[in-house]
Copies of this chain bind each other. A is one copy, B any other.
Amino acid sequence: MAGAQDPIRQQLIEARRNQILDAAAKVFAAKGFHRTTTKQIASEAGVAEGTIYNYFDSKGDLLISIMMRLSAVEDVGMELAEALNRDARGFLLAIARHRMALIAQNYETLKAVLPEMLVNPDLRDEFYSRFAQPLVTLLEQYVRARVESGDVRPVDPPLTVRSVQATFIGLMILRFLGDNVLASEWNELPEALVDLLFNGLSAEEAA
């Protein structure tokens, strides 16, 4: 009897958790973690305040759980396994598209988590090791290889790669800050970005 209910109960629990996390992410994104009260989250989720604590340990646990849910979505390795086989431009474009899509699809979550992350060591380390570091490492290996093969100019790989990574992050921040152009042209960004990063601004041919 209970055997059949267990999976159902698990699903209900998961659904309720997501319901609460969605509400929390929405309010955190709108007002910031500290300005958000548990009462507001409960109200947004359509549950009582106490219900939140049947599913999460604390308000801080909500934020961490929001980020964990994002981690589950992120999967650099998979997506880019195929990209590695492309030429440099194709690779860069795949990365850029993947990144911009990730940001667009998780806009609220990221807006909820990022400001607090800059200030909370636990979240920071989690983010850095899950999102920032893996991409930097992967890019660095790729750039080194392509510099050796001659496809890419002899740039400084660590700094170059961090600059590329920084561009993704900075564009997200600029969107958070309310930049209207980015909001409306977000889908054009990967192309423009790759054009910039791959070909550079200079009209002159590289000597």
Contact = CB atoms under 8 A, between A and B. Distances in A.
A34 B166 CA distance: 26
A88 interface: yes
Interface stretch (A15-23, A45-53, A119-127): A119-127
Interface in A124-183: 124-125, 127-128, 132, 143, 150-153, 155-156, 158-160, 162-171, 173-174, 176-179, 181-182
B114 A201 contact: no
B119 A32 contact: yes
A173 B177 contact: no
A181 B158 contact: yes
Interface of A is mostly: helix
A203 B124 contact: no
Nearest to A202: B198
Task: State the copy count for this chain.
Answer: 4
Contacts of A162: 171, 174, 179, 181-182
Interface in A48-90: 88-89
A92 B202 CA distance: 11
A204 B54 CA distance: 59
A188 B155 CA distance: 12
Contact of A169 (B127, B164, B170): B170
23 contacts: A33-B34, A33-B119, A115-B118, A115-B119, A118-B177, A151-B202, A151-B203, A152-B203, A153-B200, A153-B202, A156-B192, A159-B192, A160-B201, A163-B171, A163-B193, A166-B173, A169-B170, A173-B173, A196-B197, A197-B201, A198-B201, A203-B206, A205-B206
Interface of A: 31-35, 88-89, 92, 111, 114-120, 124-125, 127-128, 132, 143, 150-153, 155-156, 158-160, 162-171, 173-174, 176-179, 181-182, 185, 188-189, 192-193, 195-203, 205-206
